[in-house]
């Protein structure tokens, strides 16, 4: 049978990632020094692991409420209020999800109709566009620029909004650029959001990993709070990627619609991680801060090293990625990454994996120990020297 012909139009419409080949290659080569991962190098704090283990020992192995354990939702809402000064009602405005990824999916599906437009950032995380396609909507890409440190400027936002725009998705601090929006930056686009009446999905998964400037949650602007769907989770700040636990915070009407999808597709987020996360929010403040400091010191180191090597790198204010320009080498992003992998067995991700505006850049993760980064930077230096020699 021709199984290919059975695949739905929507599934077909999701383009296979152009860098899949590169990922597969990098994951196969022995002894690769990787700078390519999008997850923390830290193991989940023991307090969280122990609480989850205890919950299993106690036989807490059942479904939770669709929206998640009330105790956890209360902790999430308390945390968002204390840390980022946004108040949500744990009963009506919070859903515990299977990672931030599920949050994105249910938010888009609950709001986007076929034919409607959703604005996403380019370069941006790879999972946003497929969500739009699955809803039958149309992705509209805002091409961010290095000169703006990959911030969303009011000019760019205005240009992207049309009468078909329903949703805007922003992700600051950003994967892959490390770009950051301060309160002042947001203040420039908030009036546009308010006036246009669009709904904003704010993916704040890297919020805790903010450096010199204080993280600003978009919903902390009261005038647009109800237009914002806040998405976050435990993967990055609490080093809990494998647990798959996130949450969505939004006004009661939107929450109700998202719960409808969530309850049928997921039922409820896994139970043991929810118990672990309660203790994470209650007692892992120090661990989170310690990890943030480690990332900060590594970022400083990488930015200096890369600039010294001649790869222009702006100093990102958040997340754990730097996004150096490789244009001076005359190579495309993919050529650069392929050659680097071949020559020095160092893996980083070509910028164009995150959209065409990522061309000319590579994403380097600093979710690695300083010792590992040092070795990788030595190899990078040799690679660049070889490139120069060969060019002569």
Q: Which spans of this chain sit near other proteins (rule: CB under 8 A)?
A: 17, 22-23, 26-27, 29, 32, 34, 36-39, 41-43, 125-127, 175, 290, 293-294, 296-298, 300-301, 303-305, 347, 349, 353, 370, 374
Rounded Cα distance between 227 and 295, Å, is 32
Rounded Cα distance between 231 and 201, Å, is 7
* Minimum CB–partner distance for residue 239 and other proteins (Å): 10
Whose Cβ is closer to other proteins: residue 176's or residue 273's? 176
Whose Cβ is closer to other proteins: residue 131's or residue 175's? 175
Whose Cβ is closer to other proteins: residue 56's or residue 370's? 370
Rounded Cα distance between 170 and 282, Å, is 28
CB count in 10 Å sphere of residue 248: 30
Whose Cβ is closer to other proteins: residue 293's or residue 335's? 293
CB count in 10 Å sphere of residue 343: 13
* Minimum CB–partner distance for residue 58 and other proteins (Å): 23
User: What number of residues does the chain have?
Assistant: 392
Q: Say if residues 143 and 149 touch (Cβ distance below 8 Å).
A: no
* Minimum CB–partner distance for residue 343 and other proteins (Å): 16
Whose Cβ is closer to other proteins: residue 175's or residue 255's? 175
* Minimum CB–partner distance for residue 63 and other proteins (Å): 29
Kindly state the tokens that stand for 358.
């990522």
Q: Omega into 30 within 30° of 0, i.e. cis? A: no
Strands 165-170 and 117-122: parallel
Strands 199-203 and 228-233: parallel
Whose Cβ is closer to other proteins: residue 104's or residue 349's? 349
* Minimum CB–partner distance for residue 380 and other proteins (Å): 14
* Minimum CB–partner distance for residue 174 and other proteins (Å): 13
Residues paired with residue 94 on neighbouring β-strands, in sequence order: 249
Residues paired with residue 120 on neighbouring β-strands, in sequence order: 141
Whose Cβ is closer to other proteins: residue 160's or residue 384's? 384
* Minimum CB–partner distance for residue 24 and other proteins (Å): 9
Angle at 117 between CA 148 and CA 247, to 5 degrees: 75
Residues paired with residue 99 on neighbouring β-strands, in sequence order: none
**Closest C-alpha to 218, from 170, 258, 282:** 170
């Amino acid at each position: 049978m021709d199984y290919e012909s059975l695949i739905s139009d929507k599934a077909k419409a999701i383009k296979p990632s152009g860098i899949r080949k590169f990922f597969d290659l990098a994951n196969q080569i022995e002894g690769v020094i990787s700078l390519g991962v999008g997850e923390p190098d830290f193991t989940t704090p023991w307090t969280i692991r122990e609480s989850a283990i205890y919950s299993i020992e106690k036989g807490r192995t059942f479904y939770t409420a669709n929206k998640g354990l009330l105790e956890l939702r209360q902790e999430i809402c308390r945390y968002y209020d204390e840390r980022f000064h946004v108040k949500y009602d744990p009963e009506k405005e919070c859903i515990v999800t299977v990672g931030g990824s599920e949050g994105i999916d249910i938010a888009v599906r609950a709001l986007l109709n076929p034919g409607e437009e959703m604005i996403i950032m380019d370069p941006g995380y790879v999972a946003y566009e497929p969500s739009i396609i699955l809803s039958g909507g149309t992705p509209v890409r805002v091409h961010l620029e290095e000169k703006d440190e990959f911030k969303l400027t009011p000019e760019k936002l205005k240009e992207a909004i049309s009468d078909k725009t329903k949703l805007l998705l922003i992700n600051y601090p950003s994967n892959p650029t490390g770009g950051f929006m301060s309160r002042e930056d947001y203040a420039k686009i908030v009036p546009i959001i308010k006036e246009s009446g669009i709904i904003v999905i704010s993916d704040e998964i890297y919020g805790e990993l903010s450096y010199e400037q204080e993280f600003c949650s978009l919903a902390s602007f009261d005038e647009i709070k109800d237009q914002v769907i806040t998405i976050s989770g435990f993967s990055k700040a609490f080093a809990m990627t494998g647990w798959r636990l996130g949450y969505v915070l939004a006004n009661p009407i939107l929450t109700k619609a998202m719960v409808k999808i969530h309850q049928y597709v997921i039922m409820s987020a896994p139970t043991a991680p929810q118990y672990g996360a309660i203790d994470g929010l209650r007692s892992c403040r120090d661990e989170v801060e310690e990890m943030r400091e480690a990332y900060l010191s590594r970022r400083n180191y990488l930015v200096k090293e890369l600039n010294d090597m001649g790869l222009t790198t702006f100093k990102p204010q958040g997340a754990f990625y730097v996004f150096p320009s490789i244009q001076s080498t005359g190579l495309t992003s993919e050529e650069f990454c392929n050659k680097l992998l071949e020559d020095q067995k160092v893996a980083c991700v070509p910028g164009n994996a995150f959209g065409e505006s990522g061309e000319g850049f590579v994403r380097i993760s600093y979710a690695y120990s300083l010792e590992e980064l040092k070795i990788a930077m030595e190899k990078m230096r040799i690679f660049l020297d070889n490139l120069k020699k060969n060019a002569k």
